[in-house]
Amino acid sequence: MKGKDLKPHIGIFGRRNFGKSSLINALTGSDVAIVSEIAGTTTDPVKKSMEIFGIGPAIIIDTAGIDDKGDLGEKRIAKTLDVIKQIDCAMLVIANNTFGEYEEMLIEKFDRHKVPYLIVNNKTDVEPLQNEAIRKIQQQTTASIVEFSAITRFNLEGVIEGLKSTIPETTYQSPSLLKELITRGDIVMLITPVDSEAPDGRMILPQVMAIRDVLDNDAINIVVKETEAELFLQKTGIKPKLVITDSQAFGFVNKIIPADIPLTGFSVAYARMRGPFEEYVKGARKIANLKDGDKILILESCTHQVSCEDIGRFKIPRWLREFTKKQLEFDVLAGLNEIKTPITDYALVIQCGACMITRKQVFSRLFDAIEAGVPVTNYGLAIAFMNGIFDRAIAPFANTL
């Protein structure tokens, strides 16, 4: 499953025939999920975009039953559990006063990946939740329990309200790249190189977000290519409050922007907003300690056509070998595919800018590495470190470290 939508992701989990798909249909107001009395109707995770009042646009993910059987069932369960790493919030569907090892296992997974969750007791019109079942649930969790009937739509409003109180507000609030750095009337220079990797006729997401963020903060945008930046400063005499550039142009831009003007990168600003920034900073410093034979894992969060100027597959490996003068090995993993190699085999993990996945998916992607003590960083901070301008690139964000 690819997390290519930046809306909040909400996963629906539970046993077969407990009404997960029916709950999805009730929430979306349409028959997006196939409903059947035959257990195991849902085989692969099913995604549906919807609007939730008070939350806004969201992605609902229906999953296969956690109690599926057989060899194929084990594969379906594995896909179901993999969804937990990609979501911002979960809904655990129970029914028939049944609560046991499957639900306890899901709760353990939710807690491990820091996923907030809500328990929905479906089919309450047939069998309301009894005190004994409530007692068992409360021994395992303090999560809210909501009574619901997918058939009669009883208490659908209560489910939505419970969801709104469970999902973190940060997943649907509009984040800001630069709010703490600029104020009304400030001039921000955005230096955006255009090379063979730049998408035809448009700009990449962090650049677009920066332009909009400057406008939202009532500041003034100046957008130039790196080859025109010095000429602009000379001709106008304007001194920007902040300069932001593409990380690949760090070395060149650092030489032409006066030292008294703050300079950072799109990917650095984006990393602060979307990833474990403090871990990224510590991880970048570890580049200086790499040794011959060290393995480095490069994580690309989207799939794309590869060119000879590809930053993750060609440029960063080349730059790291040149900078460290060490014989290094590299693995590249695209999308959100499972990391098969033991994470402790790697001396460093380098995450891309992650403009195509959610903040929660970034943290989940790096969770095992951070927990195991494997250094992690991202493209922009690694490139800044190798260009000798690391301290300058993170200086604007010093108060967040």
CATH number at residue 85: 3.40.50.300
- pLDDT (0 to 100) of residue 171: 65
User: Are 13 and 143 found together in one domain?
Assistant: yes
Q: Give the domain CATH number at 212.
A: 3.40.50.11420
Residue 367 lies in a domain: yes
For residue 275, tell me if it sits in a domain.
no
DSSP 59: E
Residues 39, 102, single domain; the answer is yes
**Do 46 and 142 belong to one domain?**
yes
53/116 same-domain check: yes
Cα–Cα distance, 134 to 204 (Å, whole number): 50
Kindly state whether residues 153 and 224 are assigned to the same domain.
no
- Taking alpha carbons only, the member of 342, 151, 343, 362 closest to residue 272 is 362
Using the 3D structure, point to which of 269, 302, 334 is the last residue of a domain.
269
The predicted pLDDT at position 34 comes to 45
CB 267 within 8 A of CB 177: no
Domain containing residue 204? 187-269
Q: What is the CATH number of the domain that holds 301?
A: 3.40.50.11410
The letter for the amino acid at 239 is K
**Which DSSP string do the residues of 240-259 spell out, in sequence order?**
-SEEEE-GGGHHHHHHHS-T
Q: What element of type H or E holds 47?
A: strand 46-52
Residue 263 in domain: yes
| Residue 3 is assigned to a structural domain of this protein | no
* Pairwise CA distance, residues 286 & 377, whole Å: 9
Determine the pLDDT at residue 199: 58
Phi, psi of 160 (to 5 degrees): -65, -40
| DSSP-based three-state secondary structure for 89 | strand
What pLDDT was estimated at residue 375? Answer: 98
pTM for this entry: 0.71
Distance CA(133)–CA(16), nearest Å, equals 19
Q: What pLDDT shows up at residue 71?
A: 87
Report pLDDT for 1.
38
The pLDDT score that the predictor gives to residue 35 is: 46
Residue 308 lies in a domain: yes
Is residue 289 helix, strand or coil? helix
Shared domain for 213 and 342, answered yes or no, is no
Q: Which of 146, 171, 196 is the last residue of a domain?
A: 171
**Residue 70, phi then psi, degrees to nearest 5:** 80, 180
Same domain, 251 and 319: no
Q: Quickly tell me which residue has 């063979």 as its tokens.
A: 196
Residue 26: its pLDDT value, please? Answer: 85
The number of beta carbons lying within 10 Å of the beta carbon of residue 336 is 21
**Maximal C-alpha separation, the chain:** 78
Beta bridge partners of 329: 295
Residue 401 lies in a domain: no
CB crowding 105-133: b at 16 or more within 10 Å, else e: ebbebbeebebbbbbbbbbbeeeebeeeb
Same domain, 240 and 361: no
β-strand pairing of 56-62 with 46-52: antiparallel
DSSP single-letter state for residue 118? E
DSSP state letter for 154: B
Together in a domain, 30 and 73: yes
Q: Mention every residue, 6+ apart, whose C-beta is less than 8 A from residue 15.
A: 65, 66, 67, 93, 94, 95, 98, 102
In this structure, which amino acid lies at residue 233? L
CA distance 88 to 203: 28
Residue 1 lies in a domain: no
15 and 119: one domain?
yes
Q: Which pLDDT does position 46 carry in this prediction?
A: 80
The DSSP bridge pattern shows strands 187-191 and 220-224 to be parallel
Residues 54 and 161 in one domain: yes
Q: Given 140, 171, 202, which residue is the final one in a domain? A: 171
Residue 311 structure tokens: 């930053």
Q: Do both 160 and 124 map to the same domain?
A: yes
Number of domains in the chain: 3
Domain annotation covers residue 370: yes
Which has the closest alpha carbon to 358: 21, 83, 63?
83
Torsion region of 21: left, alpha or beta (phi above 0 gives left; psi -120 to 50 gives alpha): alpha
For the chain, the first-to-last Cα distance in angstroms comes to 33
Output the six-digit token pair for 284: 């970048």
For helices 156-166 and 20-28, the axis angle rounded to 10 degrees is 90
Asked if residue 124 lies in contact with residue 136, where contact means CB atoms within 8 angstroms, the answer is no
* pLDDT tens-place values along the chain, 401 residues long: 334 456 889 999 999 989 998 888 888 776 554 444 444 444 567 888 877 766 778 889 999 999 988 888 888 999 999 999 889 999 999 999 999 999 999 999 999 989 999 999 999 999 999 999 999 999 999 999 999 998 898 999 999 999 989 987 766 556 678 878 999 999 999 999 876 555 566 777 788 889 999 999 999 999 999 999 999 999 999 999 999 998 888 889 999 999 999 999 998 988 888 889 999 999 999 999 999 999 999 998 765 444 446 788 899 999 999 999 999 999 999 877 778 899 999 999 999 887 777 888 888 889 999 999 999 999 999 999 999 999 999 999 987 66
The separation between CA 55 and the C-alpha centre of its own chain, rounded to angstroms, equals 18
Residue 234 CB-half CA count within 13 A: 6
Are 46 and 25 within 8 A, CB to CB? no
Provide CB contacts within 8 A for 272, sequence distance 6+. 177, 397, 400
